[in-house]
Amino acid sequence: MKLLLATNNAGKQKEICALLEALEIELILPREIGLDLDVTEDGETYRENAALKARAFAEASGLWALADDSGLEVDALDGAPGLYSARYAPVPHPTDADRRGHLLRELTAHSRPWVARFRCVAAFTHREGKIYHAQGVCPGEIIPQERGEGGFGYDPIFLLPHKKRTMAELTMAEKNQLSHRARAIQALRPTLLEIIRPKVV
Ligand code: ITT
């Protein structure tokens, strides 16, 4: 059975492929089937945006599609950037460095610790079929200096206090043990297996 990863984010693609590696499911990336879709994420929740992405990719491909909507929530900023994490920087096509720089500028007026969490909602569906969801959360803290080369997005400034390392200082295997995305995909795994993996008789 084939499963299309309904994301254009290369960092997410790598992590999800590794997370689902052991399952007997053939994972397909959008570019492998010539699919170039930019879904308008105008939902009011992660769940709605994940569903919009999963549905759009499933309809365009005819395959089962798995989407991820995620974001970083910082308490001192009342939960921002949250749903707007990808668009968070006052420039037209922000890079990860632009987003991190903007976040740190917004935080300078606030005292530390800058308590934060990553949140992810994974969703999968097939054309007009039911949409299955699961959520994962990873708590941590934002720090003012970047540390580490791994991961993507806000990882170099997201500290895991119990590990004394940022998310970017973990290997991908370590990140996949505890990240918001790993927790969401883990929670969705039994449903994925039951629904799309062919039964072995
Ligand atoms: P797709 O919609 O194509 O999946 P995207 O990057 O636009 O890709 P989102 O809309 O879910 O994805 O935006 C989430 C943003 O939150 C992402 O661009 C990163 O800036 C940040 N983010 C999400 N997960 C992260 C992680 O594991 N580590 C660091 N930053 C993360």
pLDDT digits (tens, 9 = 90+) for 140-150: 999 999 999 99
CA distances (Å), 41 to each of 26, 33, 37, 52, 147, in order? 27, 22, 12, 7, 30
**Structure tokens of 172?**
């991908």
| % the chain with pLDDT above 90 | 91
CB of residue 12 inside a 6 A radius of ligand 1: yes
Does the structure show a pLDDT above 80 at 197?
A: no
Q: Which is nearest to 116 in space by CA: 175, 167, 191?
A: 167
Q: What is the pLDDT of residue 24?
A: 81
**Average pLDDT score over residue span 93-106:** 97
Averaged confidence pLDDT in the chain: 95
69 is catalytic: yes
Indicate whether residue 15 lines ligand 1 (CB < 6 A).
no
Q: Residue 187 above 80 pLDDT?
A: yes
Q: Is the pLDDT of residue 94 over 70?
A: yes
DSSP line for 107-159: HTTSPSPEEEEEEEEEEEEETTS--EEEEEEEEEEE-SS---SSSSTTGGGEE
Residue 184's CB: how many other CB atoms inside 10 A?
A: 28
Which one of the listed residues 36, 68, 69, 96 is annotated catalytic? Answer: 69
Give domain status of residue 67, yes or no. yes
User: For residue 175, which atom of ligand 1 is closest to its CA?
Assistant: 27
Sheet of 132-142, strands arranged across: 26-28, 2-5, 64-74, 114-126, 132-142, 158-160, 165-166
Mean pLDDT (whole number) for 174-181: 98
Q: Is the CB of 80 under 6 A from ligand 1?
A: no
Structural domain including 172 reads: 2-196
Residue 22: the pLDDT is 84
Residue whose CA lies nearest to ligand 1 atom number 18 = 86
Which atom number of ligand 1 is nearest to the Cα of residue 53?
2
Find the distance separating the first CA and the last CA of the chain, reported in whole Å.
15
State how many domains the chain has. Answer: 1
In a domain, 143, yes or no: yes
Asked if the structure places residue 201 within a domain, the reply is no
* 14: region left, alpha or beta (phi > 0 left; psi from -120 to 50 alpha): alpha
Say if 17 falls within a structural domain: yes
CATH number of 158's domain: 3.90.950.10
Q: Quick check: is 12 in a domain?
A: yes
Exposed/middle/buried for residue 59 (C-beta within 10 Å: 0-12, 13-18, 19+): middle
Q: For residue range 24-80, what is the model confidence (pLDDT) as tens digits?
A: 889 999 999 999 999 999 999 999 999 999 999 999 999 999 999 999 999 999 999
CA 58 – CA 60 distance, rounded (Å): 6
